[in-house]
Structure 1
Amino acid sequence: MTTGYVYVLGTCDTKQAELDYIAQTLRDGGVPARIVDVSTRQAPARADIGARTVAGFHPQGAEAVFRGDRGQSIGAMAEALRRYLARRTDMAGVIAIGGSGGTALVAPALQALPLGLPKLIVSTVASGNTAPYVGGSDIAMLYSVTDMEGLNRLSRVILCNAAHAMAGMARAACASPADPRPAIGLTMFGVTTPCVDQVVHHLSGRFDCLVFHATGTGGRAMERLADDGTIRGLVDVTLTEFCDLVAGGIFPCDSDRLGAPIRTGLPYVGSCGGLDMVNFGARDTVPERYRQRRLVEHNPQITLMRTNADECREMGRLIGQQLNRCAGEVRFLYPEGGFSSLDQPGGPFYDPEADEAFYAALAHTLEQTARRRLIRLPHAINDPAFAAALAHEFSCIFMETPDNAPHSPQ
C-alpha cells in the first residue's frame, strides 16, 4: 500500500495534457498523485499545487521567479522547487517531465532529495549526456522519443510505462535492512578492481563496504554520503577523476573532490588508482592535440590516454593541497609498482618517470604531520600486499578517530 503521494512535476502551461495523463494513470492504479506546476509564466492551470505556491518558496519571494527573463526565471523556479520539495513529508515518489528547459529546472530539486526515494524524469534529453541531470543521485531517466507537444500514440505508451514504473516503486518501497557495521566508501575502476576486491575482503567483517565507480559522479555520490553522515570513513583507492579534471576527459571530478573529508574530519586513506589514465569516448572523439599520445581502446565507447609527467605533477599538487585541509586522520599510500593493471612492466601505460613525478609533487605539497602521512610501498596497486596495507591503515586510523574509539565500561 502506498503511503503518501507521488508528486508529478512539470510546466502546466506547455505540458498540461501529459501531466494529467500521468496523474490519472497513477490514480487508476491506486496510487495517490499530486500535480505540481513549475511554469515560469503565470497562466491558468489545472494543478494540485500551483506555480505561485512553489515560487513562493524562493528566498526572494514569488516575484523572483515571474520576472520575464526565461533563463533567470528557470533558475529561480529551480531553487524554489528545491526548497518546496525539501519541506514535503508526504512523498512516496517524484515523477517529472520536460524538454531541455524543464529537465534543467526539475533536476536540481530531485538531486537534493534523499537517496532511495523513487525519482523519475521523462525527458527529451535523456538519450544524451545525462550526468548534469542525475549528478550523484539515484534519478532514473526515460527518453520520451517524441517531443512532448500533446499526447499521441507513442507518447501515451511511454508516459504510461513511466507512470506504472513509478507506481511500482511507490507501492513497494524498499527499506534498507539493519546493519550494525559502520558504512565506509571505497572508489574503484576496472583497472583497480583486484585491489578493491581484496580491501573489501579484509574489511567487510567489520564494515559495510559501499564501492563507488570513479566516474566523476561516483566520487560525488560517495562524498555526498560522507557529508550527510551515512559513510563513516573513506578508502579512496581510485582518484582517476583528477586525471580527467586536469586533462579534459569525460569523467572529471570538480574542485570539491575531497571536500567531504575536509568538512567532516572522517578517517581517510587514499591512493593512486587510475592516475595513469585520462578517459575519452570512442577513439575518434579524442581531441586532436592528444592523437599522438599513448592510447588504449578500453572498449568501443571508451579510449584511455596515458597521463604524462606534467599532468601527474599537477595532480600531485592538487591532491596534496586538498589533503592539507583535512583535519582528520589521513594516510596516502603510494604504490611504487604502478597505478593500475595497465601501469606495470610490459603494460601499455607503464611509465615509472610519470608516476614518480606525481609522487615528487605530492611529497613536496603535502604537509606531513602525525595525523597526515604519505606512505611509500614497494608494490603495484593490485598486489595483495598493497590491498592489505590499505585495509590495515584504515582499520588503525578508524579506531583513532574520537567518535569511533572503543569506550571503556562505566
Structure 2
Amino acid sequence: MAHIAYLIGTCDTKATELGYVRDLLQAAGLDTLIVDVSTSGAPPTGADISARVVAECHPDGAERVFTNDRGSAIAAMADALERFIKGRADIGGILGLGGSGGTALVTPAMRSLDIGVPKVMVSTVASGNVGSYVGPSDIAMIYSVTDVAGLNRISRNVLGNAAHALAGMMNGNRRDISDDKPAIGLSMFGVTTDCVTQVKEALDSDYDCLIFHATGTGGQSMEKLADCGMVSGLLDITTTEVCDLFMGGIFSAGDTRLDTLTHHDIPYVGSCGALDMVNFGPSDTLPETYRQRLIHAHNPHVTLMRTTVDENRQMGRWIGEKLNRSQGPVRFLLPEKGISALDAPGQPFHDPEADAALFDALEATVAQTKQRRIIRYPYHINDPEFAAMLVKHFREVMGEE
C-alpha cells in the first residue's frame, strides 16, 4: 500500500512549521513529501513539490494561479491542488496547515480522496463551523490555538499532536476493512428509525449495512461512498434533505442530492421518509415568513415545520426528474398511510392531502419503465409490511430475485 505522507501548506510563510512536522513523521518511520501551495510566486523554500508544479495542473495553466490577486489565486490554486492530488497514486495520508485561506485551499483536495485515506488539517478556523471544509469527507480538523505563524510552546504541541495523529493513522494495524458482504447505504431520521431498523435486521446477514443520518452531510456522505464505488446499493428510505433544500432548512444536502444515480448504475430503492418536515434550529431562529405555519418542537435545538400541498408537489416533481436520469435499476416506494412517525393518525403532521400531492407528482413526473418504477403500498412507512416491501424490492434490484 502507498505510504507517503503529503504535507501541504504555503512554504513562503509556513516552511518552518512544515519542516517540523516532516521531521516528526520521518522519525515515526514515514516517507514524506512537502507540497508548496504558495500563490505569491516567491522562490520555493523547503518544498519537495514546488508551487509551480502544482499550479501547472490548473486547466488554464499556472499563470491562472499567480495573478497577484489573493482571492482568485487561492481559488485557482485550490483547483490545481485538487487535480494534482487526484493524479498521485502514492498518497498514504495528508496533513495540511493553514489559516482561513490555507484551509479553504487544502481541504477540497482532501475531500476528493476516498473515505479512509488519513486526512488531518491543522487550522486557525477549526474551532468554528467547519462543515464547509469537511463536507461529506472524514477530515480530522485540529484547532491550531495560536496562529500557524512560527514555532512556540503551543504550536509545537499542537503540530506534534497532529503529526503523531497522522502517523498513528498511517502506521496503525487497522483490521482489513474489506468484508465478504457487500456494503449498502441506508438513509435514516429519528422519525423513520423503526422502518430502517427493520430493513437493516432483514438484510444484515447478507449485507454490511451503513446507516447515514439524513442531516445534509449524511446524504452527501452516502452518495460520496456510492461515487467512490464503496457501496453496492442504496436504500434511500429518508429523502427529507430535499425539504431543507427547497424551504431553507438547516439539513439540506444541496441540489446535487440523488445525482449519484445519474453518474452510476447503482441499484436504488428509495422512499419519501420525512418529506413532511423542514428542519430549523431553536424556535427563535424560525424565519419570520414561516411563523404562522404548522410547527412542532422536536427538541430544544430542532424545530420542525410541516410541508404544504404545494411544497410536496414541487418536491415530487424535483425527485421525479432526478429519478428519470438514473442509470441503474430504481424502485421508489410510496407509503400511503404516512411518511414519518409524525405523519400518522393522531400525530401533529398527519396530512393525507399533502402526502397525496407528493405521490401524485412523483407518478406524473417519473417516466416508468421495467427498470424504473414507482410503487404505492397501503402502509405507513414504519409498518413492518412496508419494511418488508423495501427489502423485497432491494433484493430484486440487487439481482437476487
- The answer for unaligned runs of 5 or more in structure 1 is 406-410
CA drift of 1:327 comes to 3.9
CA drift of 1:3 comes to 6.0
Letter in 1 for 2:14: K
Pair 1:257 & 2:257 matched: yes
Pair 1:396 & 2:370 matched: no
Pair 1:64 & 2:68 matched: no
> What TM-score, normalized to structure 2?
0.93
Partner of 2:28: 29
Do the aligned partners of residues 113 and 23 (structure 1) sit closer, same or farther apart at CA in structure 2, a change above 3 Å counting? Answer: same
Pair 1:321 & 2:321 matched: yes
Letter in 1 for 2:278: V
Matched pairs, number: 400
SS at match of 1:316: helix
In the alignment, the residues of structure 2 paired with residue 34 and residue 373 of structure 1 have an alpha-carbon distance, to the nearest angstrom, of: 51
In the alignment, the residues of structure 2 paired with residue 173 and residue 60 of structure 1 have an alpha-carbon distance, to the nearest angstrom, of: 42
SS at match of 1:296: strand
Do the aligned partners of residues 325 and 293 (structure 1) sit closer, same or farther apart at CA in structure 2, a change above 3 Å counting? Answer: same
Partner of 1:12: 11
Do the aligned partners of residues 99 and 391 (structure 1) sit closer, same or farther apart at CA in structure 2, a change above 3 Å counting? Answer: same
CA drift of 1:383 comes to 1.2
Partner of 1:408: none
CA drift of 1:25 comes to 2.6
Partner of 2:248: 248
Do the aligned partners of residues 76 and 240 (structure 1) sit closer, same or farther apart at CA in structure 2, a change above 3 Å counting? Answer: same
Pair 1:364 & 2:364 matched: yes
In the alignment, the residues of structure 2 paired with residue 301 and residue 195 of structure 1 have an alpha-carbon distance, to the nearest angstrom, of: 24
Partner of 2:104: 104
CA drift of 1:257 comes to 1.8
> What TM-score, normalized to structure 1?
0.91
Do the aligned partners of residues 4 and 367 (structure 1) sit closer, same or farther apart at CA in structure 2, a change above 3 Å counting? Answer: closer
Do the aligned partners of residues 370 and 84 (structure 1) sit closer, same or farther apart at CA in structure 2, a change above 3 Å counting? Answer: closer
In the alignment, the residues of structure 1 paired with residue 126 and residue 311 of structure 2 have an alpha-carbon distance, to the nearest angstrom, of: 33
Deviates more, 1:390-399 or 1:204-213: 204-213
In the alignment, the residues of structure 2 paired with residue 112 and residue 290 of structure 1 have an alpha-carbon distance, to the nearest angstrom, of: 37
Contact 2:114 2:228 (C-alpha < 8 Å) held by counterparts: no
In the alignment, the residues of structure 1 paired with residue 148 and residue 281 of structure 2 have an alpha-carbon distance, to the nearest angstrom, of: 30
CA drift of 1:106 comes to 0.7
Partner of 2:238: 238
Deviates more, 1:230-239 or 1:298-307: 298-307
In the alignment, the residues of structure 2 paired with residue 320 and residue 168 of structure 1 have an alpha-carbon distance, to the nearest angstrom, of: 46
Partner of 1:276: 276
Contact 2:2 2:89 (C-alpha < 8 Å) held by counterparts: no
SS at match of 1:54: helix
SS at match of 1:265: coil
| Deviation string, structure 1 residues 226-281 (Cα, Å, up to 9, x no partner) | 23333222111010110011101122122322222223232221101111111222
The residue correspondences of 1:8-407 to structure 2 (distance < 5 A) are 8-44=7-43, 45-172=45-172, 174=174, 176-399=176-399
- The answer for unaligned runs of 5 or more in structure 2 is none
In the alignment, the residues of structure 2 paired with residue 173 and residue 220 of structure 1 have an alpha-carbon distance, to the nearest angstrom, of: 29
Do the aligned partners of residues 145 and 281 (structure 1) sit closer, same or farther apart at CA in structure 2, a change above 3 Å counting? Answer: farther
Deviates more, 1:194-203 or 1:145-154: 145-154
Letter in 1 for 2:28: G
CA drift of 1:196 comes to 0.8
Letter in 2 for 1:4: H
In the alignment, the residues of structure 2 paired with residue 134 and residue 337 of structure 1 have an alpha-carbon distance, to the nearest angstrom, of: 38
Contact 2:115 2:225 (C-alpha < 8 Å) held by counterparts: no
Deviates more, 1:253-262 or 1:383-392: 253-262
SS at match of 1:273: coil
Letter in 1 for 2:215: T
Contact 2:15 2:46 (C-alpha < 8 Å) held by counterparts: yes
In the alignment, the residues of structure 2 paired with residue 306 and residue 126 of structure 1 have an alpha-carbon distance, to the nearest angstrom, of: 34
Contact 2:30 2:167 (C-alpha < 8 Å) held by counterparts: yes
CA drift of 1:198 comes to 0.8
Give the CA RMSD over aligned residues: 2.1
Letter in 1 for 2:366: L
Runs of 4 or more, structure 1, over 4 Å off, are none
Letter in 2 for 1:238: T
Do the aligned partners of residues 338 and 168 (structure 1) sit closer, same or farther apart at CA in structure 2, a change above 3 Å counting? Answer: same
Letter in 2 for 1:241: E
